Structure 1
Amino acid sequence: MKTFSKVTTVLLASSLVLAACSNAKEGASPSSASTSKTATGTEAKKEKLDLKWMVIADASSQLPSADKDFVKTAIEEKFNVSLKMTYLPLGQDYTNKLNTMIASGDIPDVFYAEGIPSNNYIRDGVARDLTGIITPAKMPNYFKNWVTEANLKSYQVQGAFKRAPVPYETSYYRTFYIRKDWLDKLNLKMPTNYDELVGVMKAFTFNDPDGNGKNDTYGFTAAGGGASVSMDFPEFLNNGLVGDTYVEGDQFITSVPTSACKKCLPISRVYWK
């Protein structure tokens, strides 16, 4: 959008449409016109807003062709906008592309930026003020389900309200998947607590649940890629450690050096041979 010299630096997807609505009230140049009925029943032209978003996406992501992108069509029709999406994986290519667009004056109306770069954009006057745009009244679901006003304030730098967080999980959940065919083979019940789970994992490790007569089964597998100890191991949860880092009261805590973590390591032979 050429009307604004400053743009919204936003760290959340749910504010994009709101920014469009806000800009529409502030004199943005229309790309085309639609019509709507006035109170007297006459046709009145309604400006259609050009919007450019720059967002992050997986390297394999590919938007469908315009004639098949029903989501984009629905957004454009509902909010009377023409939406152009630029998307790249977060990384140096994304940053280079964004900086090139900013330097050339082809600035996205809304874009994603990480902490330090977003601070730089705010410092350099690229970002616009979000006061009156991201509010509980205008974005009730965002504040109800994701972010508190206190969280939002903690994201501000340079003494201005010019960035907001991407919605993030405030509760952490883990789900364990279990081989029911192995349970059935060993005549075991579905575990319902930590001790029962450990018992099942021992049986899976040592009691030949696949029945091939070989010592080749493992009671538990987890993410980590060989480069780290996964927090998926139930010892961590059993000792109150739900992640690598967490906030307790007014303290930021890393799990690794805690006494609770020391109880979890080394992991016993329940998990490997």
Structure 2
Amino acid sequence: MPILYFDCFSGISGDMIIGALLDAGLPFDVLEQEIKKLKLDDYNIREEKVVKRGISATQFIVETHEHHPHRHLVDIQKIVGESDLEEPVKNTVLEVFAKIAEAEGKIHGVSPDTIHFHEVGAVDAIIDIVGAVVGLHTMGITKVFASPLNTGGGWSKCMHGTIPVPAPATLELLKGVPIYNGGVSLELVTPTGAAIITTVCQDFGQLPPMIPKVVGYGAGTADPPVPNLLRVIIGEETSCWVSHLNHTEHKHSGPKHNEHRH
């Protein structure tokens, strides 16, 4: 059974997740066909190879001419519900948006149903969330783990003004998740990234015992001192790593005639 590990040394966002999955072998044409099932207009998606601090990666880009969307949760539910996406994908996507609405509602002191999705309700954010969920589903990934999240720090500008990093809604989403500030004055974990990872991830911590098969790098748009990348490691789950070490030792366990030559 495939197991996936997100190495979030430079944070996480929806587009970085998709970029990492594309870099790890998710076919772009399959992703494109799935996103078309949303029946959204006036957008274009593409993938681009980039290099961040000497590391080759894939960047997922959404281009749209939509300005200042003001969608409510019910609008998102209608878009996703009336799409031709598979039911498991729909359910996960709606769970992600429900989490965001709940977090935003708590921060602003209003009901989740009355929340105006601004940045998160835009077409590009909808595509990022759907694309990330579709990617995991298409690749047959059912076990997802992640490292502690480097949130970054400092200040960020949004529609409400200047706010601390992590953003209040992002931090609300990350309750119970190990996070840290790696010393970068930049928002590294976005609300969409936080909502996606806390929905699909089974646990957070060190790299679990696994046999890596594929490694992918998804690029962000920033250029901090550390590579603005999300690394994804896909492989086989294993509990036999000790046996592998023992097997290696046994291959060399005969008389060590060369030990005394020096």
TM over 0.5: no
Query: How high is the TM-score relative to the length of structure 2?
Result: 0.27
Greater strand fraction, Structure 1 or Structure 2 = 2
Which structure has the greater CA radius of gyration? 1
TM-score normalised by structure 1 residue count = 0.26
Structure with more contact order per residue of length (Cα contacts < 8 Å, sep ≥ 6) = 2
Of Structure 1 and Structure 2, the greater helix share is in 2
